[in-house]
């Protein structure tokens, strides 16, 4: 159990989640003392049979390189949780630990889906229409057109399965909407996406278009995706702070705010990045969800929901069968 807070945030979030999802049970991996204490503090008797603790004293350090992690940290809580998914003992792995370690161990333990060279970090974000998926958010800082095209396919198939959208609109993040805009990577990727029969490619989207709901899936390299996501979170947090400020200025403004019937508070909570915590490592052959390291109970609860949703849909199997079908089809051509 990693992240900034470990079991004392994760266990209470898990307990809440198990109450919410009666059919779900959990394997938890972590340090014996901390984990046992958290379980004793937060889990009631009725829930304990649904929580199976596994203890380990192998800890991934902040400065462990991916190669160190692969070589000597497979018995860390992260490694054991991924192995449980690989063995079929668990339907999903959720971690608040280091992204690069999770990526490295995920690649070795779970491997990638057929035809996928690297997984992408994929999350949903709110739009004025509902929600959209964006990938990659930082796992692959430099991408080839073929990789971006794989991400597009992963995102599109995921949206079909989880959101029930038959033909998700896939767009490529760019600096303009016109076909002449963008660098060589973008233009070559656009050509690949146009030629891909499994994707409903709809052209470019600009940064502001992300939130207008003109795409169900936004595809980008990990550098620009990370920048877009964090810049958006930054604005949301700034505005949320302004609203908070406004609400406590004086009794008159507080009264005014009360007359808005909690709508300002609702606005603040809709802007709260914790709402959107939990990103898939999409393309691994097993559901793997990354929570923010600094997630609080509520935010970690969202990451659990994200993982449970994908596990219930057997997402990796669904993706795998389509991707394998595509490979078989291309081989018999």
- Per rule CB under 8 A, is residue 119 in the interface with its own copies? no
State how far the Cα of 47 lies from the Cα of 60, in Å rounded to an integer: 29
Stretch of residues binding its own copies (CB under 8 A), selected from 48-56, 264-272, 274-282, 322-330: 264-272
Q: In 10 A of CB 96, how many CB atoms? A: 26
CB 253, min distance to its own copies, A = 5
CB < 8 Å & 24+ apart, contacts of 177-183: 177/203, 177/204, 177/205, 177/206, 177/209, 178/204, 179/203, 179/204
State how far the Cα of 147 lies from the Cα of 26, in Å rounded to an integer: 34
Q: Which residue, 44 or 208, is less far from its own copies as judged by CB?
A: 208
State how far the Cα of 6 lies from the Cα of 222, in Å rounded to an integer: 27
Stretch of residues binding its own copies (CB under 8 A), selected from 32-40, 102-110, 219-227, 293-301: 219-227
Stretch of residues binding its own copies (CB under 8 A), selected from 110-118, 156-164, 245-253, 297-305: 245-253
Q: Is 287 helix (H, G, I), strand (E, B) or coil?
A: strand
- Per rule CB under 8 A, is residue 195 in the interface with its own copies? no
Stretch of residues binding its own copies (CB under 8 A), selected from 125-133, 189-197, 295-303, 306-314: 125-133
Q: For its own copies, which residue of 22, 23, 44, 128 counts as binding (CB under 8 A)?
A: 128
| Nearby residues of 245 by Cβ (< 8 Å), 6 or more positions away | none
Site for its own copies in 62-91 (CB under 8 A): none
- Per rule CB under 8 A, is residue 324 in the interface with its own copies? no
- Per rule CB under 8 A, is residue 61 in the interface with its own copies? no
- Per rule CB under 8 A, is residue 227 in the interface with its own copies? yes
| Nearby residues of 40 by Cβ (< 8 Å), 6 or more positions away | none
Give the ranges where the chain is alpha helix by DSSP (H). Answer: 7-20, 32-42, 66-72, 77-86, 99-109, 145-163, 184-194, 222-247, 251-259, 263-271, 297-312, 315-332
- Across the chain, which distance is largest between two alpha carbons, in Å? 74
Site for its own copies in 271-310 (CB under 8 A): 271
CB 266, min distance to its own copies, A = 9
CB 289, min distance to its own copies, A = 19
State how far the Cα of 216 lies from the Cα of 158, in Å rounded to an integer: 11
- Per rule CB under 8 A, is residue 135 in the interface with its own copies? no
Q: What is the x/- site pattern for its own copies, positions 94-113, by CB under 8 A?
A: --------------------
Structure tokens that stand for 15 in this block: 């307990």
Structure tokens that stand for 333 in this block: 């051509």
Q: For its own copies, which residue of 19, 111, 270, 329 counts as binding (CB under 8 A)?
A: 270
Residues at the contact surface with its own copies, assessed by CB under 8 A? 126-128, 138, 141-142, 173, 175, 182-183, 206-212, 220, 222-224, 226-239, 241-243, 246, 249, 252-253, 255-261, 263-264, 267, 270-271
């Amino acid at each position: 159990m990693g992240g900034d807070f470990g079991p004392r945030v994760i266990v209470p979030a898990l307990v809440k989640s198990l109450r919410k999802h009666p059919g779900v049970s959990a394997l938890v991996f972590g340090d014996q003392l901390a984990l046992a204490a958290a379980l004793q503090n937060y889990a009631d008797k009725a829930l304990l049979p649904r929580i199976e603790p596994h203890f380990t004293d192998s800890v991934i350090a902040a400065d462990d390189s991916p190669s160190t992690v692969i070589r000597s940290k497979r018995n860390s809580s992260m490694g054991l949780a991924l192995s449980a998914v690989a063995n079929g003992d668990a339907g999903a792995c959720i971690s608040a630990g280091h992204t690069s370690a999770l990526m490295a161990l995920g690649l070795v333990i779970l491997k990638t889906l057929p035809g996928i060279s690297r997984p992408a970090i994929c999350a949903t974000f709110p739009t004025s229409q509902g929600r959209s998926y964006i990938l990659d958010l930082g796992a692959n800082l430099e991408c080839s057109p073929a990789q971006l095209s794989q991400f597009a396919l992963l995102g599109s198939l995921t949206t079909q399965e989880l959101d029930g959208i038959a033909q998700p609109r896939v767009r490529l993040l760019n600096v303009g909407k016109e076909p002449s805009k963008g660098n060589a990577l973008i233009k070559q990727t656009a050509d690949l996406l146009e030629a891909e029969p499994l994707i409903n490619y709809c052209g470019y989207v600009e940064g502001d278009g992300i939130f207008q709901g003109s795409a169900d899936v936004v595809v980008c390299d990990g550098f620009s995706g990370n920048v877009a996501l964090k810049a958006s979170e930054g604005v949301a947090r700034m505005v949320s702070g302004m609203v908070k400020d406004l609400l406590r200025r004086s009794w008159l403004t507080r009264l005014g705010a009360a007359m808005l019937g909690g709508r300002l508070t609702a606005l603040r909570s809709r802007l709260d990045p914790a709402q959107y915590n939990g990103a898939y490592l999409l393309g691994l052959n097993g559901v793997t969800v990354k929570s923010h390291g600094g997630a609080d109970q509520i935010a970690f609860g969202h990451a659990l929901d994200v993982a449970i949703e994908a596990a219930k849909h057997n997402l990796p199997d669904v993706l795998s069968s389509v991707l394998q079908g595509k490979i078989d089809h291309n081989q018999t051509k």
